[in-house]
Amino acid sequence: MRWPVRLREVRTDGTEIVLRPLSRHDRARWLQMRAENVDWLRPWEATVPTGPETPIGFTRLRRVLDRAAREGRLLPFVIEVDGLLVGQMQLFDIAWGTRWTASAGYWLDQHATGRGLAAWSLAMLIDHALHDVGLHRVEVAIRPENTASLAVARRLGLPDEGFRAGLVHVDGAWRDHVEFALTAEQLGSERLVDRLRRAERSGAV
């Protein structure tokens, strides 16, 4: 795994999407988004069963993420659209050994939703994980109530592996999830971003 990494795609309408490391210059925008989206993100973000943790400062967060990435435990991207920071996209729980697998998760500023950005960003992450990093499998666990994220997984054609009871502690309780996963064999030589680009060109979005 290499870090830092910058991934870039341009949609058929000219929108530029970049996945890149969190920068010190992102501080003001990142803090603004986190403050404005507290209620929006609360139902979907993981929590600790023992209770709220002490918030981590921006500078320390950036250092922790970069260290984990250099150690091969995490790929902590931010999502930038036409030069504006709109969210984060991470590959976490990276396991090598006999598994070569990882999980993907993300969040978007509420004002950036409904534009297909989550689907494109997730496609970019999975393509990078399976083709460039060399992982064998990427998993995406989604709460059944999160219809928008379920639609993202289905738009990308990720195989639905079924219901997992009490999988992750979210918003103060153990929550059920639906798990999707894609292997390198299932993807083959294709890239998910190419699927999206073909769908956009044909109007099937």
Q: Which of 105, 110, 89, 88 is nearest to 39 (CA)?
A: 110
pLDDT digits (tens, 9 = 90+) for 109-119: 999 999 999 99
Summarize the confidence of residues 60-67 as an average pLDDT: 96
pLDDT single digits (tens) 16-62: 999 999 999 999 999 999 999 999 999 999 999 987 778 889 999 99
Contact 82, 14 (CB under 8 A): no
Q: What angle do CA 21, 71, 123 make, to 5 degrees?
A: 45
Alpha helices in the chain (DSSP H): 27-36, 38-41, 58-70, 117-127, 147-155, 184-187, 192-202
Domain that includes residue 49, residue range: 7-202
Residue 22 lies in a domain: yes
- Residue environment code for 77-95, b if the CB has 16+ CB neighbours within 10 A, otherwise e: bbbbbeeebbbbbbbeebe
Percentage of the residues of the chain whose pLDDT score is greater than 70 = 99
Q: Is residue 2 part of a domain?
A: no
Based on the structure, what is the number of domains in the chain? Answer: 1
Q: What is the pLDDT of residue 173?
A: 96
Which CATH number fits the domain that encloses residue 117?
3.40.630.30
Task: Answer yes or no: is 1 within a domain.
Answer: no
Q: What is the pLDDT of residue 103?
A: 98
Answer yes or no: is 102 within a domain. yes
Residue 134 lies in a domain: yes
Predicted confidence at residue 55, as pLDDT, reads: 82
Q: Which pLDDT band, with edges at 50, 70 and 90, does 205 fall under?
A: low
Residue 51 is predicted with a pLDDT of 77
Distances (CA, A) of 86 to 47, 69, 89, 142, 174: 22, 21, 10, 20, 28
Asked if pLDDT for residue 157 goes beyond 90, the answer is yes
Is the CA virtual torsion 47, 53, 58, 64 positive or negative? negative
Helix axes 117-127, 147-155, angle to 10 degrees: 50
Residue 101 near residue 138, CB atoms below 8 Å: yes
